[in-house]
Amino acid sequence: MNSIVIGLNAYRESIRKKTLIAFLLFAMLVIGTSTFLTVLSPGEEIKMVKDVCLSSISFFGMLIAVFGAGALIPQETDNRTIHTILSKPMRRITYLLGKYLGAQLTILLNLGLMAVLFLVILYLQSRRYVDESQAPFSATALVTMKAMVLVFFEMLVLSALALAVSTLSTSATLPVIVGIFIYIVGHSVNYLKNLSEHAPSEFMSIIIRQFYLILPNFSNFYLRNQLIHNDPYVPQGILKLFAYAFLYAAFGLLIAYLLFRKKDM
Amino acid sequence: MKSWKEWLAFGALALAFLIPISLLQSGIDGDEARVLFLRWIDNQEAYEGQLLQKITGGTDDRTVEEKDLFKNVEDVGESLNSGFRRLSVREKWNTLHNRQFEPFYEQFQRLAGQAKIKAVEGQIEWSNPDVSANVGALVLGFRKLVADLLWLKVDQYWHLGMVQRMLPAMETVVTLDPHFIEAYALGAWHLAYNVTVMFHSLDEKMKYIDQGIHLLEKGIKSNPRNSKLYAELGFTIYFRKMGDWEKAAYYLGEATKYEHEPWVERAYALSLERLLQEEKALAVLEDYDRRHPELVMQQLSMARLRKKLEARQVEKDGDLEHALRIWDFLRTDDPGDVVAPKEFLRIKHLLSEQHRGASRD
């Protein structure tokens, strides 16, 4: 219960932050202007809109997740409000879970707003470029929602890891930089898979492969692009991806708790 | 001591998360690899069809291992589910999870690792690990966006007349996004039409047409269930550019197997008509007419096809004069018909032979 109260409070604080509002406005601007690009790509207008919108939602979503989750604890430490909260009879894990919940609500709100604008743009484009082979808009809306859920899964992991780093830091700079770094690593982790297949020895191959398996792999969520482009070859569903995101987020929170539980405030 | 025990407990807890995470990651990778296996099977089925109809010129460039593997997969697939070839992606996916496919799947992975499997593009991380995995990873999940922006660059190169720059850029676009259908379709059209007009030498023209064909074939390998690519290759290249009705009919026929635009069936019927298979063409159009009663284009073609069949019947009955009149009507009625003038001349020739024979008698 305490976690929910802290979460709602963190959410109220976050949505007032100018940085997050600026990111949201930038994202809306990019999504809104994606229609202009269609003029340059005859024949692939809707594809262009989908790619630009989904990429900007993913990118700005990442910034919102990193800034939103990474700045929560350092900000409270800076304002010294953390002392009044932690002096109450409350477990630190409750506090952490509350903060994480608040960050998720902020991310959900932002992703939701971006998704609505994305759908509006898609609807207008689908009316403008009528194609007999295109699926009806209701079907497009459904896959768009699925793709947005995958973006959220990615943010779920990223924000948990950013929160874990933020427990170490007194300013928001470190968790933000590390968060962006994790995002880059998470998207480049397939290098390791490639490397393990070409390793000079069996031993090295196993070691590299184990690293590959435990590092956060955000390219898993790249499936959103296939979904949104109606690639028929997506028979596997997204259940495993949800389990992966959920477990990784829980792991991130475990690290956060480890670092935070005995931190001298 | 307490702290040591605590750390041990946390270590165990961390392992309790990391082990299922790594298992899940293996499962996700396995799914991706199985999807690639599924794509490969679809590709092989399409390729075998081409070999049977001599579309590829009859030369099978697959390795012995690849052919054997496909044969085994098809045999097991048919024994488990009759009509394995015609199954939808979901049904095939479920069938492929049967234990009997396990050794084939492992063999597929081994052969792919040894580069003994050619007929697959699919996910770029897999198909060409030395080059494209790195390109894909470099753009951090914005692969499709980068492909789109590069595609705009291709368009810019075209307007600046920099054809030589267009080609590598187009290759990169489809490497980054193997499912960018319009890049294959528009790219091939550029190569076969706009670029060829810049050259006078027939060899040079053919070089670019071949590159266009190669681009579309590559697209089909990556997207074996996309009708647009088959239709483009069949109609835009083989039908309109090359006048190769046989290949046009094959690819347009393949295009009709998947979700397609209505014109594809009409084009398929037209290519069959050019192959003098009027009965089959009429059957295609009659079926089309039943499903699209609101469209009228096909009714004209059907009327002409019936006339052609009538001409053939009349010819069979020995009334060449009547057949000639029908073909004469057909050639003047539609100057775009390439069959009617030839048939008219053929019948005319037969008639003159007949008259000559009669006068000798």
Asked if the structure places residue B92 within a domain, the reply is: yes
Are A47 and B141 in contact (CB < 8 Å)?
no
Region B253-277: mean pLDDT is 89
Beta-carbon contacts of residue B120 (< 8 Å; ≥ 6 apart):
B36, B39, B40, B43, B112, B127, B221
Question: Which chain A residue's Cα is nearest to B138?
Answer: A188
Chain B residues touching A55 at Cβ < 8 A: 142, 144-145
Asked if the structure places residue B254 within a domain, the reply is: no
For chain A, report the end-to-end CA distance as a whole number of angstroms. Answer: 24
How near does any CA of chain A get to the CA of B29, in Å?
Answer: 8
Asked if the structure places residue B252 within a domain, the reply is: no
pLDDT of B1 higher than 70: no
Which of B93, B125, B262 is facing A132, going by the closest CB pair? Answer: B262
Last residue of a domain, one of B100, B120, B140: B120
pLDDT at B126: 42
Q: How many whole angstroms separate alpha carbon B206 and alpha carbon B177?
A: 27
Domain identity same for B11 and B99 = yes
Residue B20's pLDDT band, with cuts at 50, 70 and 90, is: very high
Last residue of a domain, one of B210, B243, B276: B243
Query: In terms of Cα–Cα distance, which of A18, A79, A108, A43 is closest to B181?
Result: A43
Q: What are phi and psi of B282, to 5 degrees?
A: -65, -40
The answer to whether A231 and B179 are in contact (CB under 8 A) is yes
Chain A residues touching B87 at Cβ < 8 A: none
Question: Which chain A residue's Cα is nearest to B122?
Answer: A233
pLDDT at B124: 40
Region B86-95: mean pLDDT is 87
Provide ipTM, 2 decimals: 0.88
Residue A180's pLDDT band, with cuts at 50, 70 and 90, is: very high
Domain identity same for B221 and B273 = no
Question: Which chain B residue's Cα is nearest to A246?
Answer: B21
pLDDT at B229: 92
pLDDT at A110: 92
Residue B144's pLDDT band, with cuts at 50, 70 and 90, is: confident
pLDDT at B234: 93
Q: How many whole angstroms separate alpha carbon B334 and alpha carbon B328?
A: 10
Domain count, chain A: 1
Region A51-70: mean pLDDT is 90
Question: Which of A40, A233, A261 is the best mutation test for B, with the most CBs of B within 10 A?
Answer: A233
Region B203-227: mean pLDDT is 87
pLDDT of B128 higher than 50: no
Region A26-33: mean pLDDT is 87
Are B34 and A236 in contact (CB < 8 Å)?
yes
pLDDT (tens digit per residue) in A3-14 = 888 888 888 888
pLDDT (tens digit per residue) in B53-86 = 666 555 677 788 888 999 999 999 988 888 888 8
Domain identity same for B142 and B181 = yes
Which of A187, A213, A235 is facing B140, going by the closest CB pair? Answer: A187
Question: Which chain B residue's Cα is nearest to A234?
Answer: B35
Query: In terms of Cα–Cα distance, which of B200, B47, B259 is closest to A232?
Result: B259
Q: Which domain holds residue A68?
A: 2-260
Are B26 and A213 in contact (CB < 8 Å)?
yes
State both tokens at B331: 């050639």
In total, the C-beta contacts within 8 angstroms joining chain A to chain B are: 139
Chain A residues touching B30 at Cβ < 8 A: none
pLDDT at B129: 43
Residue bearing the bigger pLDDT, A126 or B71? B71
Residue bearing the bigger pLDDT, B89 or B55? B89
Domain count, chain B: 3
Domain identity same for B133 and B233 = yes
CA pseudo-torsion sign A9, A15, A16, A20: positive
Asked if the structure places residue A265 within a domain, the reply is: no
Domain identity same for B17 and B101 = yes
3-state class (DSSP) for residue B180: coil
Are B20 and A247 in contact (CB < 8 Å)?
yes
3-state class (DSSP) for residue B29: helix
Region A184-202: mean pLDDT is 85
Single-letter amino acid code for the residue at B221: K
Q: Which domain holds residue B18?
A: 2-120
Identify the weakest region by mean pLDDT among A55-64, B64-73, B218-227. Answer: B218-227
pLDDT of A189 higher than 80: yes
Q: What is the CATH number of the domain that holds B349?
A: 1.25.40
pLDDT of B35 higher than 60: yes
State both tokens at B144: 């499709």
